[in-house]
């Protein structure tokens, strides 16, 4: 069907006359050809009551927030922890490995019982089991959740009974299980012992560093500094020092070397230095 546009009526009439569809020329045809209508703009501007916008009106900011992400598992998980709040206190490991673990082989239509994934299910197993019943077994979500929770409680009860009787059997054979308070005290004592051990190691390292350092008696040999005059006077009189380190005495005695030769070897640099002092005016 031809579009009827007001500015193109004369063009459509001209085409119809060329095709002999209109036998007689309309009365208005020549007048419209002499004064053709104005062409329409490509897009008409919106009609406004007042071209001047009010300065008090604030422009609406574009919405840059992401769309809400919804998963059915989140709804079931929220209801599960609302019904079982103490399950949130069970410690679990959230450490991620280098590779993503493969999905459990028991899933889809073949997963009909929660015990197929173990006799000690986790809350996540119960949530996934309820969603699996809803999606693959065409159950209502409320019925699937009720069944998953019932099987979860039954398996957890059986696991608790097994642990209780195993503990009683172990205690009957003489095993002693420390309580949580005793275990806390043991950890505290271990921390204290590690601190004491660290202090001992630090003290031993300090003594090892000081092993080859000179330990002087500050109260022995104190006096005025005579610039080596007493040492030179003793040398001129033939008085030689009688001290010698203990380690060199032990080495000399083992090697059979006389102690006097060792004293002469050690005194040679001192004698040379004494001669230099004596020659100095």
Residues 6+ positions from 39 with CB-CB distance below 8 Å: 7
Kindly indicate the confidence band of residue 62, based on its pLDDT and cuts at 50, 70 and 90: confident
Return the structure tokens found at 50.
């007042």
Q: Give the pLDDT of residue 72.
A: 93
Return the structure tokens found at 77.
């998980």
Distance of CA 266 to the CA centre of its chain: 64
131-158 average pLDDT score: 94
270-278 average pLDDT score: 54
Q: Is the pLDDT of residue 256 over 60?
A: no
């Amino acid at each position: 069907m031809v579009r009827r546009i007001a500015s193109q009526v004369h063009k459509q009439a001209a085409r119809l006359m060329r095709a002999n569809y209109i036998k007689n020329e309309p009365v208005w045809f020549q007048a419209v050809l002499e004064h053709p209508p104005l062409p329409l703009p490509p897009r008409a501007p919106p009609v406004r009551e007042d071209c001047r916008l009010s300065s008090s009106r604030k422009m609406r900011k574009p919405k840059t927030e992401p769309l809400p992400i919804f998963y059915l598992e989140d709804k079931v998980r929220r209801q599960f922890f609302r019904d079982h709040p103490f399950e949130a206190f069970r410690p679990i490991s959230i450490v991620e490995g280098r590779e993503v673990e493969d999905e459990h082989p028991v899933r889809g239509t073949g997963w009909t019982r929660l015990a197929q994934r173990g006799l000690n299910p986790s809350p996540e197993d119960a949530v996934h089991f309820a969603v699996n019943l809803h999606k693959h077994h065409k159950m209502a979500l409320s019925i699937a959740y009720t069944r998953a929770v019932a099987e979860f409680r039954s398996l957890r009860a059986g696991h608790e009974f097994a642990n209780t009787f195993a503990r009683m059997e172990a205690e009957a054979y003489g095993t002693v299980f420390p309580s949580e308070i005793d275990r806390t005290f043991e950890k505290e004592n271990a921390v204290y012992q590690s601190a004491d051990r660290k202090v001992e190691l630090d003290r031993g390292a300090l003594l090892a560093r000081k092993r080859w350092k000179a330990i002087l008696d500050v109260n022995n040999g104190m006096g005025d500094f005579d610039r080596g005059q007493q040492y030179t006077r003793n040398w001129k009189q033939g008085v030689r020092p009688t001290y010698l380190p203990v380690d060199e005495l032990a080495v000399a005695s083992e090697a059979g070397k006389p102690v006097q030769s060792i004293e002469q070897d050690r005194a040679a640099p001192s004698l040379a230095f004494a001669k230099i002092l004596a020659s100095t005016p």
